[in-house]
Amino acid sequence: MASTSRPTGPARRTGGIGQLSAYAAETLPFREGHLALVSCGEGSPVTYLHGMLGNPGEHAFLSALANNGWSVTAPSLPGFTGSSEPSGLRNLHDWVVAASELIDLAGVTGHPVVASSVGAMIALELATIRPEAFDAMVLIAPFGLWDPQDPVADPFATTLSNQRRMLTADPAASASFFDDPEEMPADLLVEHGVDRYLTRSASAQLIWPIPEFGISERLHLVKNPVTLVHGAKDAIIPASYLNKWEQILPNVVGVHCVEEAGHQAEFDRPEDIAAIATSALS
C-alpha cells in the first residue's frame, strides 16, 4: 500500500543549502558525439535525470541532494544541455536505447534515480525493458499519459516567456535556463542561446505532438519502488495525473503533491523535493 502525504507545504529554508557543494563537469565520448554530465556531493549514489529545463549544472536542487548526503550524478540526455544529439534518434525506441547506453557510460546503472518531466518519462520507459537500470525511482511530473477530458497542455504552442511561466510556478526559478549570464562575452552568449534552443528542441522531439506513446500498456513491467511528486501549480500536466500514475504503476510507495511548485517542482522547491527524495530513497 502506498504511503501518501498530500499536500506537502513549503519547508523552512534552513542553513546549509546555500553552500554549493563542489561540482565536477565531465564530457564523455558518446556514439559520434559526446555526453555531458555534472556531479557533486559525497555519499550514496543517486542519479538525476533532468526535465524540459535541461541539466541545471550547479543548482540548488543538486546541492540540496548533495547536502543530504548523496553523491549526485546528472547526465544530460542526448541533445540537451551540452550533450550532442546522435543522428539516430527517430522515435521513442531510439531514445530509450540511447538512455540505456547513457547510464552505462555515466556509470550510474542500478543506482536510485530522481527523474523529472521528460527525463521521468524516459526513465519509466527504460525501466519497462531493463529492470536493473535503476533502483528506486522518484518521478517528478512524468510525461506519458493522456486524458482527453483533461489533456496535457501544449508547452510549445506559446511564446518563450509563456513557456517559462508554464515550467515553474515562479518564473525566477528557471533563471539558470532562460536568462543569459551577466558579463558573458557576446560570442558565448550566442552559443548559450543556441544551447537553450537545442535543449528546447530536444524536449519537443521527445514529446511532440501528444506526449503519449502507449506507456500505460507497459507499466506493469516496472517493479521498482516509485515515489511520485507533482507540483500543485503544474501548468502543463494537470494534477489529476498524479492519481492516474498512482493507479497504474504496480509499486508506488509514495505520492506527494507539492504546493507552490510548478511542472519542474525541483526548480521551485529544491530543498523540499530533495527532502522527499532523500526520504524515499534512503
Q: Residue 26's beta-bridge partner residues?
A: 37
In this structure, is the dihedral angle defined by the CA atoms of residues 17, 203, 35 and 100, taken in order, positive or negative?
positive
What is the C-alpha to C-alpha distance for residues 153 and 218, in angstroms, rounded to an integer?
23
Using CB under 8 A, pick the residue from 22, 110, 189, 208 that binds another protein.
208
Closest contact distance (angstroms) between CB of 205 and another protein is 3
Decide if 141 contacts 118 (C-beta within 8 A).
Answer: no
Closest contact distance (angstroms) between CB of 153 and another protein is 12
Q: Does 156 bind another protein (CB under 8 A)?
A: yes
Nearest to 224 by CA among 256, 253, 257: 253
Q: Does 197 bind another protein (CB under 8 A)?
A: yes
Q: Residue 229's beta-bridge partner residues?
A: 140, 256
Q: Does 204 bind another protein (CB under 8 A)?
A: yes
Q: Does 216 bind another protein (CB under 8 A)?
A: no
Q: Does 29 bind another protein (CB under 8 A)?
A: no
How far CA 104 is from CA of 46, 100, 107, 115, 139, in Å, comes to 14, 7, 5, 16, 20
Nearer to another protein, 31 or 130 (CB): 31
Using CB under 8 A, pick the residue from 7, 43, 181, 193 that binds another protein.
193
Binding site for another protein (CB under 8 A): 79, 90, 156-159, 162, 190-191, 193-194, 197-198, 200-205, 208-209
